[in-house]
Structures are given as C-alpha cells and as structure tokens.
Amino acid sequence: MPIRMKVYHQGKETLVAAADADLIGKTFREGKFKIEVGKFYEGDVVTEERFASELRLATIGNFVGKETIDAAKEAGFVADDGILWINGVPHAQFVLMI
C-alpha cells in the first residue's frame, strides 16, 4: 500500500503528514473521536525510505493507516502505546521537544 506524504514548513517547525493512500478522502468516527483523511495528507506517493528520511528532519508528525504507522514505527517515531485506533484505523502523532 503506497504512503501519501505532505511536508509543511512553518517557522522552525517541519510537519510531516502521511497516510495510507487508500484512506485519502475518507472519514473515520468512533465515540468522541473523528479523523478526516483529507487534503492535509494529500501529498506525494513516497517509499518507506523517503518517508523515514523526511521524518528525521521533522519536528511534528501526523500519521494515519497501518502501512504508514508501521513505517513510522520501524523508523523509531511511533510506539505501540502511542497509537489511537479509530474505527479500526490507527492514528499517531509525534512532537519533537527541544
């Protein structure tokens, strides 16, 4: 499953938003939680290697989908206990605090 990734720069912050390509345009709800996988994530299709290299430059990450989160876990940016499941879809974030 391809990963779609978009990189945002704002001041000193670099945010990487990424999602499994097949989730783009979908919304997931469970209880009080809702996630819209929209234009925020709608970037380029990238390899896991490119995704990991962009994460190493990021200060914030926002991820949706099993493949994307597995790649973020493999790169050391997400731990199992940091994953929120919304209607069977995993979501995780990270913030680098210096």
Please report, for the domain that includes residue 15, its CATH number.
3.30.1860.10
Pairwise CA distance, residues 64 & 3, whole Å: 10
**Which pairing describes strands 3-10 and 33-37: parallel, antiparallel, or unpaired?**
unpaired
Surface-to-core class of residue 14, CB atoms within 10 Å of its CB (0-12 exposed, 13-18 middle, 19+ buried): middle
Domain containing residue 67: 3-95
* pLDDT the model gives residue 97: 82
Quick: pLDDT tens for 6-36.
Answer: 999 999 999 999 999 999 999 999 999 999 9
Q: How many domains does the chain have?
A: 1
Structure tokens at 15: 């945010």
| pLDDT (0 to 100) of residue 56 | 94
Residue with tokens 């990238």: 46
